[in-house]
């Protein structure tokens, strides 16, 4: 589990580079394949303190594609601040773990990653988020 807003408060689940890597659906994918819709659906699990201007632009484009007014920059910046339960945290790519890590109080993505995720979840996470 990457994130949960139930009583366990698990999150944040993704940093921006991971979320961005998930925007394009693989060929032949089922479910939500539109990159703008995927961004907006994944945004609640984002919790990255260092988001670039390109992130703001991507969220504005996604909002507009889904019917929001062109002047949605303030909303995009607000959405990029992270979920109210865990906010935005610092992330870094750990070469040993070959994964993005986060030391947030409620993050399942701490060092070492093995201690915070069951092996099956870790393998699924790595398969999903590792660039090919």
In a domain? residue 8: no
- In the 8-state DSSP scheme, what is residue 115? G
- Classify residue 98 as left (phi > 0), alpha (psi -120 to 50) or beta: left
**Whole-number pLDDT of residue 112:** 59
Residue 17's Cβ-count burial label (10 Å; 0-12, 13-18, 19+) is middle
Tell me the pLDDT tens digit for each residue of 27-82.
Answer: 999 999 999 999 999 999 899 998 899 999 999 999 999 999 988 999 999 999 98
Per-position DSSP letters for 26-70, written without gaps between them? PTT--S---HHHHHHHHGGGB-BS---HHHHHHHHHHHHHTT--S
Q: The pTM is what?
A: 0.79
39 occurs within a structural domain: yes
Domain boundaries, position 80 = 16-129
Residue scoring higher pLDDT (125 or 30): 30
Instruction: Give me the mean pLDDT over the 2-14 stretch.
Output: 69
9 in any annotated domain: no
Residue 103's pLDDT is 82
**Whole-angstrom Cα distance, residue 101 to residue 27?**
28
User: Which residue reads 């919790």 in tokens?
Assistant: 47
The total number of structural domains in the chain stands at 1
Residue 23 forms part of a structural domain:
yes
């Amino acid at each position: 589990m990457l994130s949960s807003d139930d009583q366990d408060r698990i999150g944040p689940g993704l940093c921006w580079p991971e979320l961005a890597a998930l925007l394009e659906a693989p060929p032949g994918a089922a479910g939500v394949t539109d990159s703008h819709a995927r961004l907006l659906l994944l945004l609640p699990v984002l919790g990255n303190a260092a988001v670039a201007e390109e992130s703001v632009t991507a969220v504005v484009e996604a909002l507009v594609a889904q019917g929001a007014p062109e002047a949605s920059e303030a909303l995009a910046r607000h959405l990029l601040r992270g979920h109210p339960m865990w906010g935005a945290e610092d992330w870094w790519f750990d070469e040993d773990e070959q994964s993005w890590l986060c030391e947030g109080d409620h993050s399942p993505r701490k060092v070492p990653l093995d201690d915070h995720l069951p092996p099956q979840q870790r393998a699924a996470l790595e398969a999903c988020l590792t660039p090919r």
